């Protein structure tokens, strides 16, 4: 079934994904970047989504909506610092852990945005 956000039903029954990165400690606190906060929120929301919700449960729909918002912000909001680029790169690693792959245009956009700062730092 399709709901308001065009989320395909049935996916809620996916096996729970163990998210080791939820146990972040202050000792590994990242350099300040709001993208890092978004990345950690994405992980926490995803974990909340693995609680076995019905596909059309309002909480589950809200979870899906928030994940989509974070993805959109990661793709379309440009980095302003090296810390932002590093946070986005960590976000891409989280997506890789989930087996999530961006489409071509969005993937190119986020990689190009990150690369600008990463290459400047390396130079």
Partner 1 sequence: MATRALSIIVPDAHTPAPPVALPAPTNDNLASWTDNRRAKLLLASCAASMPQGEWHRAYHAYGYGEGFRYIGYRVDALTAIRDEHGQRALDLFHAEGDPAYGVFALHCQSASVTDAIDAAADAALAAKMEG
Mark the segment that binds partner 1 (CB under 8 A) among 78-86, 99-107, 113-121: 99-107
- Phi, psi values for residue 52, rounded to 5°: 85, 40
Q: What is the distance between the alpha carbons of residues 106 and 117, in angstroms, rounded to a whole number? A: 18
Does the protein bind partner 1 through residue 69 (CB under 8 A)? yes
DSSP summary character for residue 80: -
Per-residue interface string for the shown chain with partner 1, residues 19-38, x marking contact by CB under 8 A: ------xx--x--x-x-xxx
Q: Which is nearer to partner 1, 25 or 123 (CB)?
A: 25
b/e for 31-64, b at 16 or more Cβ within 10 A?
eebebbebbbebbebbbebeeebebeeeebbebb
* Position among 19, 66, 111, 118 found at the interface with partner 1 (CB under 8 A): 66
Residue 67 contacts partner 1 per CB under 8 A: yes
Residues β-bridged to residue 2: 8
Q: Which residues would be at the binding site for partner 1 (CB under 8 A)? A: 2, 4-8, 11-12, 14, 17, 25-26, 29, 32, 34, 36-38, 40-41, 44-46, 48-49, 60, 62-69, 71-73, 95, 98-103, 106
């Amino acid at each position: 079934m399709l709901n308001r956000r065009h989320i395909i039903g049935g996916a809620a029954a996916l096996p729970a994904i163990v998210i080791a990165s939820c146990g972040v400690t202050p000792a590994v606190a990242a350099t300040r970047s709001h993208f890092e906060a978004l990345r950690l929120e994405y992980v926490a929301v995803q974990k909340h989504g693995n609680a076995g919700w019905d596909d059309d449960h309002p909480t589950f729909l809200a979870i899906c909506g928030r994940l989509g918002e974070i993805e959109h912000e990661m793709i379309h909001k440009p980095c302003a610092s090296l810390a932002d680029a590093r946070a986005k790169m960590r976000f891409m690693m989280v997506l890789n852990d989930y087996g999530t792959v961006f489409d071509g245009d969005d993937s190119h956009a986020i990689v190009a945005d990150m690369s600008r700062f990463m290459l400047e730092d390396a130079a």
